[in-house]
A and B are shown apart, each in its own frame.
Chain A
Amino acid sequence: MSTTKKVTSVILGSAMAASLVGAVGMAGPAFAQEDNMEKCFGVSLAGKNDCAAGPGTTCAGTSKVDFQGNAWTLVPAGLCENSEFWGKVLPGDRTGSLTAIDRDMV
């Protein structure tokens, strides 16, 4: 075994032991035989197959407008309205910030 590997395995053993603190014997919902179903109901999704018709003769199915390639006619709104912010998220020199981390990330 190379020196590097020995070092790695020592790191590994202690890291694993530390990572298992609080994980082994977890009684949390993730590993319970029956987790708290109530919590899940909030995200129960309706499947999108049904046998009902849509809203009659509105124009969604008959509009001839084609937005492919007509960028100027269709503008994002929603949470993207703040264009100043979105400018910053554009790709560019992003490599300098690769180590930025927030508290929820691993």
Chain B
Amino acid sequence: MPPEFALEDFAKALRAPDAPLPKGIVDPFGNPAPKRFDVYRNNVTVSLIEALQAAFPAVCALVGEVFFREMARTYLRTHPPASPVMIEYGHGFAEFIEQFEPAASLPFLPDVARLDRAWLDVYHAADAQPLNPARLAGLNDDVLTGARFFVHPAVRFINSGFPLHDLWQAGRAAKSAAGIDPSLVQNVAITRPRYEIQTFGVTPVSAIFIRALMEKEPLGAAVEKVADIKGFDLTRVLNRLLTSGFFMDVEF
């Protein structure tokens, strides 16, 4: 059945610049039409590059558009989307960048990619009313100690060993990264209480506490993990979590 084979060859040749023109691809006069076929090759490649560029704006700004588009082109050759929904493309891009040799001099870049991708996940995540902080007011210590939180569906948390929030913000705002303190270690929380996305940097100590809460450990147990570590500011962390819509619900 020749038409079936035509589409098989067609599909393979789209993503392989070296592949010969598929059999039976002609212009209206029956001549072979390699340049016409290249319109499709180009559409596939460019549209996927642009989907990645839209999803990873901070990565793109940090490395420049020329570098980004070549990196994206290399990625889509080996990692074509498995779903037609382009707002979900690129979940493996950070792991790809880890192995992409030209980016080896920028070891923080995979974390920036993870944050860009998580930001887009939050943008499209389910709506939910955040936990009203008033529900935690006036409770006695024993009740608070046993409190377990449910994370809001539009929340993500990215671990990093780099000044990730500052690097990412520089990329998103296309501002110079020269003023960033390279010694900072910033994990990043992303929240979206209603429609507006918030991000904030989290110290390694606070990250231990927040991760424990995310895993449904009781508040008292989470505090015990970090209470003795210098620099942990429980009031400050709780205030930020409760005012940024990090949680959806609490049970006692």
Contact = CB atoms under 8 A, between A and B. Distances in A.
Touching chains A and B, CB distance < 8 Å? yes
Contacts of A57: 35, 38-39, 42
Contact of B17 (A10, A45, A62, A79): A62
Interface in B28-72: 35, 38-47, 49-51, 54-55, 60-71
B94 interface: no
Interface string A1-26: 00011011111110111111111111
Interface string B123-146: 100000010111011011110110
B43 A23 contact: no
Nearest to B194: A35
Contacts of B176: 79, 82
Given A23-B243, A30-B245, A106-B200, A60 B46 contact: yes
Contacts of A89: 107-108, 162-163, 167, 180, 182
A78 B62 contact: yes
- Prevailing SS type, chain B contact patch: helix
Contacts of B223: 8, 11-12
B70 A74 contact: yes
Contact of A68 (B101, B132, B202, B244): B101
B137 to A, nearest CB: 5
B210 to A, nearest CB: 9
A80 B45 contact: no
A62 B16 CA distance: 8
A48 B86 contact: yes
Contacts of A36: 196
- Prevailing SS type, chain A contact patch: loop
Given A9-B144, A31-B245, A53-B39, A105 B195 contact: no
B144 A48 contact: no
Contacts of A54: 42-43, 45-47, 50
- Size class of B's contact patch? 35 or more
A30 B243 contact: yes
B161 A85 contact: no
Nearest to B86: A48
A28 B134 CA distance: 14
Given A31-B130, A98-B185, A11 B227 contact: yes
Nearest to A53: B43
Contact of B206 (A8, A22, A62, A106): A106
Given A48-B54, A76-B67, A105-B202, A61 B181 contact: no
Given A35-B195, A68-B100, A60 B64 contact: no
Contacts of B51: 48
Contact of A97 (B35, B63, B185, B193): B185
Contacts of B185: 94, 97-98, 100
Given A76-B67, A100-B185, A71 B101 contact: yes
25 contacts: A8-B224, A9-B144, A12-B144, A12-B145, A13-B141, A16-B139, A23-B239, A31-B245, A43-B123, A45-B120, A62-B17, A63-B17, A64-B18, A65-B70, A75-B102, A79-B177, A81-B64, A85-B177, A88-B182, A94-B161, A104-B200, A106-B200, A106-B236, A106-B237, A106-B240
Given A30-B130, A76-B62, A76-B64, 5 more contacts: A56-B42, A76-B102, A79-B175, A83-B105, A98-B185
